[in-house]
């Protein structure tokens, strides 16, 4: 006789208790594929290092520098920790970032080159911003959307020549999309990944270190400006960009498969007088700056108007681009007070224990005082400058006003001193604070200049 489901379930106490189940009270009716909100905890497993996932030219060097854990980003292994937890973990790395200078292996920002007579026209068709306003040896933070207005990628776009652009990717495989678009459109361009791998140089001593390597002219690179140079005799492109919201740089090494060791060791040597440390990307700092992480905070079902990227959809771009019709319709709906979505991204401050490492789950959010979950946290961390936990989070549109009180449900490891895991949170402005080392965007805003286009 067949065993009844209810009887069989008694053998699985975890399921019986409802652990790791999908909350069905968070409205995700606008999504085709709901975000997985199961609370599974750390579920420690060993990462398999194999040939199916690519190793960057810097991978072995990161391991040599002490990398002890990694994730996968753009189908490449990505270092995400050098200082072990028993030695202070990510917060020790953070101290180097805010006091000295750090180097990050960010070769996972794969470079997709678009080159040819129609390069500008093609790029202008696939990004929402106006590519014709990007001059050679300048860059922009841009987004590419699908026909429904969803964000496919939010790369830094480098224009290295009149007829050549590099998409420095966030975590989605854009090359296939770009090739597919051009099969239908027939622009006179070549599209290919190139052997260029970036390193980030971030921290208050980054300018001094870069000046030691490239001369004082590097100090004058504007925000998103580019400069050609050499490290250890090898050609690089330098940009004034980074994942911190502070003034910092990226070094894009050409022919990186051949020359990774030469450049890595050259930067380490130049960094010794400045107390340089190799660290993982500092998500605590990028959250404070309000910088989004594709796949974690936003994805291909996210509209720019939901996540503080409305400025990426200009009103005055006459040329057609993918998603334009949908995005202009959504903007009209938003301005009429009838947005076609239920949730928006906000910044939160909240208490509890200090969040000093990556979250394993999307923590749930309830209305003030508790109740059924209505939203979820995507990127939480503790901010030493603000002396509180901060996060980016998705909440219903009616809960987005600054000062709105909510409840964040923390895992037990971040419980408050009294043992509570239901912690009061407040919606606050993003970015959470001015940059310690203000970048050109912030200086421009202080003068009333709009950097949107």
- Domain-terminating residue out of 265, 281, 297: 281
Whether 254 and 373 share a structural domain: no
pLDDT (average), residues 122-143: 98
- Mean pLDDT to the nearest integer, 101-125: 98
Residue at 392 is within a domain: yes
Give residue 12's pLDDT: 53
The residue-averaged pLDDT of 283-310 equals 96
Q: Residue 429 and residue 420: Cα distance in Å, rounded?
A: 26
Nearest of 172, 160, 438, 130 to residue 302 by alpha carbon: 172
State mean pLDDT over 329-340. Answer: 97
Q: Which whole number is the average pLDDT over 366-372?
A: 92
Same domain? 391 vs 261: no
In the structure, what pLDDT confidence band is assigned to residue 44 with cuts at 50, 70 and 90?
confident
Domain-located, residue 28: no
Counting the structural domains of the chain, the total is 2
Same domain, 197 and 334: no
In a domain, 110, yes or no: yes
pLDDT higher than 50, residue 75: yes
Using the predicted structure, report yes or no on whether residue 13 has a pLDDT greater than 80. no
What is the pLDDT, as a whole number, of residue 61? 98
Distance between CA atoms of residues 307 and 359, nearest Å: 20
What is the mean predicted confidence (pLDDT) over 145-150? 98
**Domain membership flag for residue 40:** no
Q: Are strands 364-367 and 375-383 parallel, antiparallel or unpaired?
A: antiparallel
pLDDT score of 448 = 59
Which residues does 237 contact at the CB level (< 8 Å), separation at least 6? Answer: 158, 160, 196, 226, 227, 228, 229, 251, 252, 254
pLDDT digits (tens, 9 = 90+) for 199-251: 999 999 999 999 999 999 999 999 999 999 999 999 999 999 999 988 999 99
Cα distance between residue 358 and residue 90, in whole Å: 9
The model's confidence at residue 440, banded by pLDDT at 50, 70 and 90, is low
Same domain, 156 and 118: yes
Answer yes or no: is pLDDT of 1 > 90. no
Are 89 and 356 contacting, i.e. CB atoms less than 8 angstroms apart?
A: yes
CATH code, domain with 92: 3.30.1360.120
The residue segments making up the domain with residue 145 are 49-281
Query: What pTM was estimated for this model as a whole?
Result: 0.93
* 23 pLDDT tier (thresholds 50, 70, 90): confident
| Chain mean pLDDT for the chain | 93
Q: Report the C-alpha gap between 5 and 241 in whole angstroms.
A: 56
């Amino acid at each position: 006789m067949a065993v009844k489901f209810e009887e069989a379930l008694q053998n699985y106490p975890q399921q019986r208790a409802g652990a790791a189940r999908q909350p069905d009270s968070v409205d995700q009716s606008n999504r085709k594929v709901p975000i997985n909100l199961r609370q599974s905890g750390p579920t420690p497993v060993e990462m398999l290092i194999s040939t199916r996932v690519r190793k960057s030219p810097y991978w072995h060097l990161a391991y040599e520098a002490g990398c002890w854990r990694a994730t996968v980003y753009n189908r490449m292994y990505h270092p995400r920790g050098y200082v072990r937890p028993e030695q202070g973990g990510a917060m020790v790395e953070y101290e180097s970032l805010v006091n000295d200078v750090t180097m990050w292996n960010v070769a996972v920002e794969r470079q997709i080159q678009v080159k040819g007579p129609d390069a500008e026209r093609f790029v202008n068709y696939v990004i929402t911003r106006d590519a014709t306003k990007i001059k050679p040896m300048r860059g922009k933070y841009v987004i590419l959307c699908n026909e429904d207005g969803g964000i496919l990628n939010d790369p830094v776009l480098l224009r290295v020549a009149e007829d050549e652009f590099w998409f420095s990717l966030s975590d989605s495989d854009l090359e296939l999309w770009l090739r597919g678009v051009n099969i239908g459109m027939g622009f006179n361009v070549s599209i290919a990944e190139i052997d260029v791998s970036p390193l980030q140089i971030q921290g208050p001593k980054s300018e001094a270190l870069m000046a030691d390597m490239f001369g004082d002219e590097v100090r004058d690179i504007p925000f998103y400006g580019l400069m050609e140079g050499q490290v250890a005799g090898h050609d690089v492109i330098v940009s004034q960009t980074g994942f911190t919201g502070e003034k910092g740089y990226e070094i894009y090494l050409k022919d990186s498969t051949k020359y990774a060791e030469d450049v890595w060791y050259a930067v380490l040597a130049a960094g010794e007088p400045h107390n340089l440390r190799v660290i993982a990307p500092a998500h605590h700092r990028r959250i404070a700056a309000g910088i989004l992480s594709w796949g974690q905070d936003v994805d291909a079902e996210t509209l720019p108007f939901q996540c503080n990227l409305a400025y990426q959809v200009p009103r005055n771009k006459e040329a057609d681009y993918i998603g334009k019709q949908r995005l202009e319709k959504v903007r009209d709906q938003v301005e009429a007070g009838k947005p076609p979505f239920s949730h928006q991204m906000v910044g939160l401050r909240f208490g509890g224990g200090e969040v000093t490492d990556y979250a394993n789950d999307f923590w749930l959010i309830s209305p003030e005082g508790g109740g059924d979950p209505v939203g979820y946290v995507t990127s939480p961390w503790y901010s030493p400058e603000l002396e509180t936990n901060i996060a980016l989070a998705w909440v219903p549109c009616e809960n987005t006003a600054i000062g709105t009180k909510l409840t964040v449900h923390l895992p037990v490891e971040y419980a408050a001193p009294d043992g509570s895991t239901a912690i009061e949170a407040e919606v606050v402005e993003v970015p959470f604070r001015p940059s310690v080392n203000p970048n050109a965007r912030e200086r421009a805003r202080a003068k009333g200049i709009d950097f949107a286009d």
